[in-house]
Structure formats: C-alpha cells, structure tokens
Amino acid sequence: MKQTILVTGGTGFIGSHTTVELQQAGYDVVIVDNLSNSNAEVVDGIEQITGIRPAFEQVDCCDKQALEAVFAKYKNINGIIHFAASKAVGESVEKPLLYYRNNTVSLLNLLELMPVYGVKGFIFSSSCTVYGQPSKENLPVTEDAPIQEACSPYGNTKQINEEIIRDYIHSGVNIKSVILRYFNPIGAHPSALIGELPNGVPNNLIPFVTQTAMGIRNELKIFGNDYDTPDGTCIRDYIYVVDLAKAHVKAMQRVLDMDTEPIEYFNVGTGRGVSTYEVVDKFEKATGVKVNWSYAARREGDIEKVWANPDKANNVLGWKAESELEEALSTAWKWQLKLREKGVM
Ligand code: UFG
C-alpha cells in the first residue's frame, strides 16, 4: 500500500517541489497550508507536473483542532515533513513573538498529534543558520560543528525547534526524526510550473537578481565587497531546490523503512562555496541577460562565509546534489519569465 505523507507548508517554495518528488517516488501527499505566503494555484501546478492532485487542506498548524481534523480525515498518515513556518529574518526581529508563536506552536501541535494517530516519521526543515559563522577550522561545515547563538528570532526558532524534537525523541516516544539543515535553496522546477513567489521586495539574492534582470527592480545591491573572501563578497552554498526536495524523499524512506538511529542530522548543501559576485556573473552567463548591479554597504547580520561539508548526506543518506549552479540559475530565470507571461509580475 502507498504510504501517505503530510506536508505542512506544501504550497510554499520548498514544500511544493518536495510534494512533486514525493508523488514521483510513489507517496500519497496531503498538503496542509494556511496560504499566508503562497496560493492555492500551486496545487494545480503540482498536478500538472505529476498528473496527480495532492490532497489540500487550508489549515493553520497553530490551530490544533483544525489540524487534528486533518489527521482524523486522512487516517493513515505515515510521516510528516514540516515546512510551515514564518521565515523572514528581518520581520522576525520586528515581531519576535509572532515568530516564536507560529514556529513553535505549530511544531508542538504536530508532535502531540503524532502518537495519537500513529504517525512514525518526522522530517524537520532546519537551516545552516544554526551554525552561525563557523570558525576557519569548521569550514566547510559538518553536522558536528558547534551550534552558535542565533542572530535573529527566526534563527532561534530553528534552534529551539531542533531541541524540542530532540528532547521528544529522547523521551522514548515511538517516532523517528531526520533534521535537514538547508543551505541556500534556489531555482525552480524545470517545467516552470512551480517556483518561488516572494511577497513584495525580495530579501533573498536570487529573486532579487531575476526581478532586476526583468526590470521590476532598478538595481541589485551586492551587500559588502570588503569581506575576507577572494573577491570580497559573501560566500554561500546555493543548492538547487529540486535536489533539496529529493533529500526529503531519502530522509522519509530512512525514517519509515530503515533501521536507523531515532534522530539524525544532515547538511543539505552542495559542498561548493560561491560568492555573491560569482552568482551574478554566472546568472548573466547562463541566461545571456544583464543585471544592473552595484556594490553597497554590508547588510547587518550577514554571515561572511558558510558552505556545507555534505559527506554525511552523500554517504549515509545516499543523497547528492546533482545540479550545476548555472542550471539552477537558468530555471530561476525561466520561472521569472513565466511569471511575466502570466502577468503575475
Ligand atoms: N545579497 C545581496 N543583495 C541582495 C540580497 C542578498 O548582496 O539584495 C547577498 C547577501 O548579503 C548574502 C547572499 O546574497 O551574502 C545571500 O543572501 P540571502 O538573503 O539570499 O540568503 P542568506 O544566506 O542571507 O539567508 C538564508 C535564508 C535565511 C536564513 C539564512 C541562514 O534566506 O532564511 O540563510 O541560514 F536564515
């Protein structure tokens, strides 16, 4: 019998791409999303790609009663992938309580309901933000690198949630969990039927690049060119969202079908550190489109350089990032062109 996976935040950027990969791997998917930062048309896009319409429930994971009704309706949920969360770093500084409430209450509700409905596997979407700025000896960063004090309430919710999950698993409950620490997800599905749709002015680099290339934004500012890096701009590990989505399928197979430790942590990155300048340069080369940009002051709170050592994910999880950066950037541009064609922006 097919296994059923509950995907919270399943109409969001990473959630929608993961739903596609889960369906293509033979899972049934139930999406739960409150549509606070996405829209229901994403479900159509998923169906167009896979030929299968995922079940969709417009529910806020902080509403325990409504969430419980979902577990009761789809009786045989085997696993959960929990994406639903508020994720804007700057907003979290302005509205910390909103972030602490949204991101922890939704997690608590899910964890409390799991044993009641016999749900065995839990994949949590965490972030390399837990490592802060790793010291020189800890780059590329492994899962054993020290966790550092969070730079924002958003980052702190990732740390707190990891701790909540750890303590719950250690209490002896019959649940297994994989914590995935993402580096910087980018790109869109090659079909351009789903992608990233930021609200308002994008904070993240790639949507700002594609919107500037499209003429929606006048100029991209590269924040800081005096960092201690080869070209002076910050370094990140940009991971193609479809590759990232596939890591979730591996993680789900691991918690549900394999005899493994009850809680495991994996870095999901490419192992390749790329500077902001290189991203813009590669985008122009990959698409043939010029980006109007200039250097600006450093952005407060930015990490200078971080990239993954993905050996554990490669060797233990059996997952590896397959895509080149240029390919991922091309899909981001194709998606931006699609948004223009549809008149979205
Ligand atoms: N950048 C620019 N100009 C822009 C936007 C970004 O130069 O307009 C630079 C940033 O300074 C940074 C790099 O591009 O060096 C990447 O910035 P993003 O905002 O895309 O990503 P971050 O690495 O800063 O943040 C990401 C996630 C956060 C998460 C953080 C740490 O978006 O949610 O990683 O894990 F908290």
Q: What pLDDT, in 10s, does the model give residues 2-53? A: 999 999 999 999 999 999 999 999 999 999 999 999 999 999 999 999 999 9
**Is-cis flag, bond preceding 190, omega within 30?**
no
Look up residue 160 and give its amino acid: I
Q: How far is the CA of 252 from the centre of ligand 1 (A)?
A: 28
- At residue 327, does pLDDT exceed 90? yes
* Cβ atoms of residues 223 and 298 within 8 Å: yes
Check pocket membership of 312 for ligand 1, CB cut-off 6 A.
Answer: no
Cα-to-centroid distance, 149 and ligand 1 (Å): 18
Q: How far apart are CA 28 and CA 173, in angstroms?
A: 25
Q: Check pocket membership of 295 for ligand 1, CB cut-off 6 A.
A: no
In sequence order, what are the beta bridge partners of 294?
A: 221
Residues 308 and 69: their CA atoms lie apart, in Å, by 39
> Where along the chain do its domains lie?
4-186+240-269+309-321
Residue 184 Cβ < 6 Å to ligand 1:
yes
Q: Regarding the domain delimited by 4-186+240-269+309-321, which CATH topology (the fold level of the hierarchy) does it fall under?
A: Rossmann fold (3.40.50)
| Whether residue 221 has its Cβ less than 6 Å from ligand 1 | yes
CA of 223, closest atom in ligand 1: 7
Which run of H or E residues covers position 206?
helix 205-214
Q: From the CB of 57, is ligand 1 less than 6 Å away?
A: no
Radius of gyration in angstroms for the set of CA atoms belonging to the chain, rounded to a whole number: 19
Res. 198: pLDDT tops 90: no
> What is the Cα–Cα distance from 147 to 126, expressed in whole angstroms?
12
Is the C-beta atom of 127 inside 6 A of ligand 1?
yes
Q: What are phi and psi of 319, to 5 degrees?
A: -125, 145
> What is the per-residue pLDDT across 262-316, written as a single tens digit (0 to 9) for each?
999 999 999 999 999 999 999 999 999 999 999 999 999 899 999 999 999 999 9
Pocket test for ligand 1, best of 204, 221, 233, 244 (most atoms within 8 A of CB): 204
pLDDT of residue 50: 98
User: Ligand 1 mean position to 204 CA, how many Å?
Assistant: 5
Q: What is the pLDDT of residues 160-171, one digit of tens each?
A: 999 999 999 999
Residue 33 Cα to ligand 1 middle (Å): 25
